[in-house]
Amino acid sequence: MDRQELLGKIEILRSMMTNAAIHEPLISPNIQHMSHHLDQLLNQYERLIR
């Protein structure tokens, strides 16, 4: 996955998580899952730019 594709996925997931947080508590399994996935993408991005 290239840098632009990864940034796109990060932005989409951030937006989805923000929208979900409006309707669900932050401790909901759905938001926790998205947060974990976002962490993985951010870690992958950090490794890519080093």
As a whole number of angstroms, the distance between CA 34 and CA 14 comes to 8
What pLDDT, on a 0 to 100 scale, did the predictor assign at position 29?
97
Q: Is the pLDDT of residue 1 over 90?
A: no
What pLDDT, on a 0 to 100 scale, did the predictor assign at position 10?
98
**H/E run at residue 26:** none
For residue range 6-38, list pLDDT tens digits in order: 999 999 999 999 999 999 999 999 999 999 999
C-beta of residue 15 within 8 angstroms of C-beta of residue 25: no
